[in-house]
Structure 1
Amino acid sequence: MTHAQHPGSLTPLEKALALLLDGLAPVAPRPIPLATAQGGVVAENVALRHRLPLYDMAVVDGWALSAYDLVGASSYAPVMLAVSPAWVDAGDRMPEGCDCVLDTAQVETAGAMVHVLAEALPGQGVRRAGGDLKEGQSVLQAGEPLRAIDMMVARTAGLDTVPVRRPRMTIVTVPSATGDAVTAHMIAEEARHGGADITVIPAPGRDAASIAAVLKDVTCDLLLTVGGTGAGRSDAAISALTEQGAQLAHSLAVQPGRTAAVGQLNGSPVIALPGAPDQALAVWWTLGRPALDHLAGRSARRTLTLPLARKISSGPGVADVVLLQQADDHWMPLAIGDLSLQHLAQADAWLAVPGDSEGHAAGTPCAAYLLRDC
């Protein structure tokens, strides 16, 4: 059972984040094989060494021709060619002197006679040399995570490795009363999607000694514990961290997630997450994700700004996490400070109402972080 705390006794969210990021620098980049680089954050701009394509290339199957030779051609006035044109498949290099491709319906052949039944524009059915990417053009942007489409561009450009920042993140899981680890799995997937290399270590027990035994051997860029942060008789994560020398701010002014703690352990940032999924997510979104993004050198995450469909009311002194669903061109608040699994499944975005605000009136434009951002 947790005890209610006055907002004045809680660590403000902004102060908690500052403590977490104090002295923190992005991890060193390293070349990662392209096959395993997806999701990692690009460490530096990667420029193309040569143009793509290297030469004029057919993008459709058909007859390679010169548009100049076809001026005035129509089904009523076909243009007769003295020389039979070359056939090209999509992806073939265009023959010398040809700048367009016509399909079979526009060209008739009868023995050695070839009639063209339509005009064409220069470049029709053709991708010009350098039409995809220019030499020296950046194909990967520093600070951006590698998406599937970025991987395709990199492969097309002939890249074998990519300079990526991959923070090492360790999650120490405190056994739950039910024996499951759904919260830890969820956070691990969130962090993996954010570009981290993840190690999950289960503590052998819920007591401080069992948790501390695992913590003393951990070396990583970001440490998370999941579970055991409350005031229950078997909650010992905070005691274990303190025994190992962690400098912590415990009890945060964020709802849900007040029992969480943040700080430093052996020079690395540490976050103690509650075991409940909604509380862990709220703290992860507001503190864990910014810390991981900072370590990865990631650019600011994109938000979508829409007006509120109805008012959001928030208590003073505590940052309330709000789940939102997009309804036409508005944000519809689903839940404020109490995030059920149903609302988590339905939500399209989230935002945090600052502790010094009492909420937002209906119609207020609000920037929210997308939960379904692909």
Structure 2
Amino acid sequence: MLHVSSIAEVNDLIAQRFGELSSGAEDVPLSQALGRALAADVTATEFVPNFNRSTVDGYAVIAADVFGCSESIPSLLTLAGESHMGQPLTIQLQKGQCVYVPTGAELPANADAMVMLENADDFHDGTIAIYKPAAPGANLIYRGDDVKPGQVVLPAGLRLTAADIGALAALGSTQVSVARAPRVAILSTGDELVAAGQTLQAGQIRDVNAPMLAAAVSAAGGIPDPRGILHDEQAVIQAAVDAAMDSCDMLLISGGTSVGVKDAIPAVISALGELLVHGVAAKPGKPTILGEIRGKPVFGLPGNPVAAYFMFHMLARPLLLRMQGAQTEDRHVSAPLARAVSSNHGREEFVPVALSEERVHPIASKSGLITTLAGADGFIRIPRDCEGLSRDELVEVTLFKR
């Protein structure tokens, strides 16, 4: 019989036993940094942009020179020159003058506004007529408006997006210090399992968990190390687990976690290390295991793919991110339930849902059908002391990333 712990209790235990685990840091080229967690704050050492630049095609002016001008009473300014893209500008604007500046080019000294080209006329005698006033700061970006020296641009622990890569490029970075990606070994157990490419025989099913967990590990910044399918023999499983621990930072085993005759995972973990938890007060996911071997976390996940997914998401994924110094990045929305949902008293329940017409639609499914998740937008959590939720009750949905 399983002696279950709550999700919160298991996460507290994970923090106590593995909270100091760190994957370390390494420098990688900027081209390989997407999705990696920053190992340290990125602090600017220069101004971005490094000069006052225009955001429009037009004329750089002193705002006071065009104050009150209009179509009927234009301001007439002397053209003092032209700014060119990618070239420094040495002109210092004087009262009554203007300079032509294309979008992105440098403004002359003393200029404090840009007038768009369509609001001006060139008389081709060195005189420019301005028909619309421009307030100080109009249509320009000042030096350092984006970034100033000493400013923390990106904080440690941030998982880098494409936009972050652009910010690093703007700072002149070619390499960045990121957390080393933890290596996660993945083992599937079960006499009935075959790999995805094989033809099914009577009584066989395809191994869903290994490719699903490998993708989930990659999405959390880890390096998946799938090690195949093992038969339900304790000696075989124990040898494979022992070998995997030499080269991984975390081990995920799916199947064989319950209390049946062939459920060997608890005995294997106990033989090689310490069994910390056997049973979680969650639905799906009750026969989940937490163990420690050689100071490394081992998660025994149920063979049921839906249960394996949720237990990875709730227990293994937060630890994997923490090992990289990164934060859990779940997004949530709140909306009313489209129908009532009953629940199994005594276990926290995870219910896949779809979002439609600003309502939350629980997805009914028999246990173990992975397509339940494939068609879901996210899930809701029903507390273990709650017997269900009512129609129109406001619920929080944890969104799946798409």
| Both structures adopt the same fold (TM-score exceeding 0.5) | yes
Change (3 A) 1:240 1:292: same
Change (3 A) 1:296 1:365: farther
1:321 aligned partner = 350
Change (3 A) 1:259 1:28: closer
Unaligned runs of at least 5 residues, structure 1: none
1:177 aligned partner = 193
State the one-letter code of the partner of 2:118: A
Return the alpha-carbon distance in structure 1 between the equivalents of residues 291 and 9 of structure 2.
Answer: 11
Query: Given the alignment of the two structures, is residue 192 of structure 1 paired with residue 222 of structure 2, yes or no?
Result: no
Return the alpha-carbon distance in structure 2 between the equivalents of residues 346 and 204 of structure 1.
Answer: 30
Asked if the contact 1:248/1:262 (under 8 Å) is kept, the reply is yes
Structure 2 counterpart of 1:17, from 11, 16, 21: 11
Query: Given the alignment of the two structures, is residue 372 of structure 1 paired with residue 401 of structure 2, yes or no?
Result: yes
Return the alpha-carbon distance in structure 2 between the equivalents of residues 160 and 311 of structure 1.
Answer: 54
1:36 aligned partner = 32
Following superposition, the deviation at residue 135 of structure 1 comes to 2.9
Following superposition, the deviation at residue 284 of structure 1 comes to 0.9
Q: What secondary structure does 1:40 align onto?
A: coil
Residues 46-195 of structure 1 mapped to structure 2, 5 A cutoff: 46-86=42-82, 87-118=100-131, 119-174=133-188, 177-180=193-196, 181-195=207-221
Give % identity.
26
Asked if the contact 2:333/2:398 (under 8 Å) is kept, the reply is no
Following superposition, the deviation at residue 26 of structure 1 comes to 4.1
Following superposition, the deviation at residue 281 of structure 1 comes to 0.6
Return the alpha-carbon distance in structure 2 between the equivalents of residues 126 and 9 of structure 1.
Answer: 66
Further displaced range: 30-39 or 238-247: 238-247
Q: What secondary structure does 2:166 align onto?
A: helix
Q: What TM-score comes out, normalization by structure 2 length? A: 0.79
Change (3 A) 1:354 1:216: same
Q: What secondary structure does 2:137 align onto?
A: coil
State the one-letter code of the partner of 2:119: Q
Structure 2 counterpart of 1:276, from 301, 304, 315: 304
Structure 2 counterpart of 1:214, from 240, 258, 281: 240
Change (3 A) 1:40 1:55: same
Return the alpha-carbon distance in structure 2 between the equivalents of residues 225 and 9 of structure 1.
Answer: 20
Return the alpha-carbon distance in structure 2 between the equivalents of residues 53 and 319 of structure 1.
Answer: 52
Following superposition, the deviation at residue 90 of structure 1 comes to 2.4
1:227-270 deviation per Cα after TM superposition (whole angstroms, max 9, x unaligned): 44356776544444344334253343322223331111111111
1:294-323 deviation per Cα after TM superposition (whole angstroms, max 9, x unaligned): 323333544525254243322122221122
Return the alpha-carbon distance in structure 2 between the equivalents of residues 194 and 130 of structure 1.
Answer: 34
Residues 222-261 of structure 1 mapped to structure 2, 5 A cutoff: 222-230=250-258, 236-261=264-289
Change (3 A) 1:330 1:45: farther
Q: What secondary structure does 2:194 align onto?
A: coil
State the one-letter code of the partner of 1:193: A
Change (3 A) 1:40 1:10: same
Query: Given the alignment of the two structures, is residue 344 of structure 1 paired with residue 368 of structure 2, yes or no?
Result: no
Structure 2 counterpart of 1:332, from 339, 355, 361: 361
Q: What secondary structure does 2:173 align onto?
A: coil
Q: What TM-score comes out, normalization by structure 1 length? A: 0.84
State the one-letter code of the partner of 1:95: P
State the one-letter code of the partner of 2:17: G
Return the alpha-carbon distance in structure 2 between the equivalents of residues 336 and 32 of structure 1.
Answer: 45
Asked if the contact 1:70/1:120 (under 8 Å) is kept, the reply is yes
1:111-143 deviation per Cα after TM superposition (whole angstroms, max 9, x unaligned): 324332322222222111121123322211233
Change (3 A) 1:252 1:88: same
Return the alpha-carbon distance in structure 2 between the equivalents of residues 304 and 272 of structure 1.
Answer: 28
State the one-letter code of the partner of 2:22: V
Return the alpha-carbon distance in structure 2 between the equivalents of residues 131 and 201 of structure 1.
Answer: 51
